[in-house]
Amino acid sequence: MPTNYPTSLLQLTVSAFNRMSVKQFVGLVLLIAMLGLSLLVLCFSGFSIDGQNLQHTLTIPSLEHWLGTDQYGRSMLMRLASAIVLSLMLGVICVLTASIVGVGLGLVSVFSPARLAGFIDGVSNIVLALPALVIVLLLSAMVPGSLLMIYIAIALVQWVEYYRVTRQRAKAILASPRAENSRLLGFDNRYLIKRHIIPDLAPTLSTMMAFGAANAILMMAGLGFVYVGIQPPTAELGLMSVELFPYYQQAPWLVAQPLVAISLLVLSFHLMADSDRTSSKVSPECHLASDNSANGNFANDSSAKESTAENQSPAEVSKL
């Protein structure tokens, strides 16, 4: 049976590391560094995110406050660290939820009768009918300031992407000679999923997940920025940018901090996605997009062609 099929988690990690491009490595290091530093600050800083000190507002970075203090004299270092951790956690949890639900439903719809598949497809079309941000805005308006609602809303708009890609790819694989072969040899659907579908999907999924995390972070920051996301005094990157912006002329360095933090977070996820390696034609936006456009047939086919071509020779692609 397969010899190059990674069995243990360790093996899987090692092989993932070996296949990583320089870009992805840089992205990962950047991400780990930001998360690590933020966690260290959260553990060892003597300040809290909402402890005010109105005598020392809008100060420049000093030994006591490494990144200065905001308009209420709160420690920026502490607030920034907590906001970064919040964003990262939300991004990761949203992506995990969305991908598990999306891939799960994709597989279900491939193996289930046409009626159920049609129903899931209908639901996905309804979610895709509106721009994602509008749905997220409306949902978070229902329970203002609730982190749970933001999480549900973002996961709800994101699963469709994974569902579409999974279904499309799984269909193609199940119709392929190798799956036919495997079936004739007596293997069941579970084996087909594990041995043929998941490995085939994995590279695309990992790219999509990295983009998805970036998008989730962007969406939450966007909500905070238009003041309908998480409410103060919680530190949230979008909210911090809009709160500090009026103080631009007194303290530009403070305004810059949350902006740089969001951009670095998004950048590190984009680097990890490394869309150049898999050619920008197969980026998840494009998948969503090609599904989104009504001329589904032609767009889908071309993207399917792209993706299978890419997947049949991951080694070759990585050499590029």
> CB 131 → other proteins: shortest distance, Å?
5
Interaction with other proteins in 250-269: which residues (CB under 8 A)? 252, 255, 259, 262-264, 266-267
Q: Is the dihedral of CA 58, 60, 61, 64 positive or negative?
A: negative
Q: What are the helix and strand counts (H, E) for the chain?
A: 14, 0
Asked whether position 270 contacts other proteins by CB under 8 A, the answer is: yes
Per the structure block, which two tokens stand in for 4? Answer: 């190059």
Give the nearer residue to other proteins in terms of CB position, either 93 or 267. Answer: 267
**Euclidean distance between CA atoms 88 and 279, whole angstroms:** 26
**Euclidean distance between CA atoms 289 and 299, whole angstroms:** 9
Nearest alpha-carbon partner for 5 in 172, 185, 158, 198: 198
Asked whether position 33 contacts other proteins by CB under 8 A, the answer is: no
Whether 259 contacts 252, CB under 8 Å? no
**Euclidean distance between CA atoms 146 and 60, whole angstroms:** 33
Nearest alpha-carbon partner for 218 in 259, 279, 247, 254: 259
Whether 51 contacts 77, CB under 8 Å? no
Per the structure block, which two tokens stand in for 42? Answer: 């959260």
Name the segment binding other proteins (CB under 8 A); options: 33-41, 165-173, 270-278, 310-318: 270-278
Name the segment binding other proteins (CB under 8 A); options: 56-64, 78-86, 165-173, 249-257: 249-257
Name the segment binding other proteins (CB under 8 A); options: 6-14, 70-78, 285-293, 304-312: 285-293
Asked whether position 4 contacts other proteins by CB under 8 A, the answer is: no
> CB 159 → other proteins: shortest distance, Å?
15
Q: Work out which of 14, 16, 32, 126 binds other proteins, going by CB under 8 A.
A: 126
Give the nearer residue to other proteins in terms of CB position, either 165 or 221. Answer: 221
What phi and psi values does residue 69 have, to the nearest 5 degrees?
-125, 155
Asked whether position 17 contacts other proteins by CB under 8 A, the answer is: no
* 3-state class (DSSP) for residue 67: coil
Binding mask 135-154 for other proteins (x = CB under 8 A): x-xxx-xxxx----------
Asked whether position 232 contacts other proteins by CB under 8 A, the answer is: no
Give the nearer residue to other proteins in terms of CB position, either 42 or 128. Answer: 128
Give me the residues that bind other proteins (CB under 8 A), please: 125-127, 129-135, 137-139, 141-144, 214, 218, 221-222, 225-228, 238, 241, 245, 248-249, 252, 255, 259, 262-264, 266-267, 270-271, 276, 279-281, 285-286, 288-290, 292-295, 297-299
